[in-house]
Amino acid sequence: MSRVIAVVNQKGGVGKTTSTINLGIGLAQAGRKVLLIDGDPQGSLTDCLGFPEPDGMDTTLSNVMLNVMNEADMPLSFGILHHEERVEVLPANIELSGIEVTLVNTMCRELVLKNYIDRIKEAYDYILIDCMPSLGLLTINALAAADEVIIPVQASKPSVRGLQQLIRTIGKVRKQVNPHLKIKGILPNMVDARTTYARGVVDLLKSGYGEQLKIYESIPRSVRMEETSAEGKSIYKHEPGGKTAEAYHRLVGEVLIDE
């Protein structure tokens, strides 16, 4: 069965996009069929995978969601692009910000993305949604469509403090819209293990949430990771033997254990 995973945090700069990309490509390397959905009007995932000028694209997630809202016919492959690292991508651009406004007056507004994903999910083993840094209707749509949530968290105390609000929102979506939604785990990201501060934040995560939720092994801070966004490739291709690639391989293995 296909698994739909939303990569969510209402804070920006925590590595949602790089986590989505490298988890997805790692799953593809393990032989799984993977679709990455860019759920952010900034088009970060689209841009980081090397697709030029997202704002100039004719067909993106916004067109797909409009078609669903208007009950228009479209082929299953509508808008989906192929990336050289064996994943498929549904891109996004600034037009997606207008969709959030349109959703306000749409019947069953929380379920538009779910209706789309239900149509295509049999074609994939994994569908990963890179959510925008907010808890607005687009993020609620992603949570309503997802089976599981992975929460990347930067190794900083403000980022950890914001977890409570996000977990409450996920609980509301579970109660009101998607009773099958569960938090897969928290991913400490961009962790500089050489510093006492970063290690302390990870310990804070484990002590505060470790009994209820899975805390994944930390993804280290890496200059090489920052370079991948400019090159449109994964960390596996940019620095295949590096510590960050190894950390993502371990994350992929942990996700695959639950199959």
How high is the pLDDT of residue 4? 98
Among residues 180, 116, 94, 191, which one has the least CA distance to residue 143? 180
| Overall fold of domain 3-257 | Rossmann fold (3.40.50)
CA distances from 111 to 57, 68, 143, 203 (A): 25, 10, 9, 37
Given this model, what pLDDT does residue 178 score?
A: 97
Report pLDDT for 160.
80
Q: What is the pLDDT of residue 12?
A: 86
Using an 8 Å Cβ cutoff, are 44 and 130 in contact?
Answer: yes
**For each successive 10 residues of the chain (259 residues), what is the average pLDDT?**
94 91 97 97 94 90 96 94 97 93 89 96 97 93 97 86 89 95 94 88 90 92 82 90 94 91
At residue 194, the pLDDT reads: 86
Q: What is the pLDDT of residue 72?
A: 94
Annotated domain spans of the chain: 3-257
**Residue 230: per-residue pLDDT:** 79
105-161 pLDDT per residue, tens? 888 999 999 999 999 999 999 999 999 999 899 999 999 999 999 999 988 888 788
33-42 pLDDT tens trace: 999 999 999 9
The reported pLDDT for the residue numbered 122 is: 95
Question: What does the pLDDT read at residue 135?
Answer: 87
State residue 151's pLDDT score. Answer: 96
> Given this model, what pLDDT does residue 21 score?
97
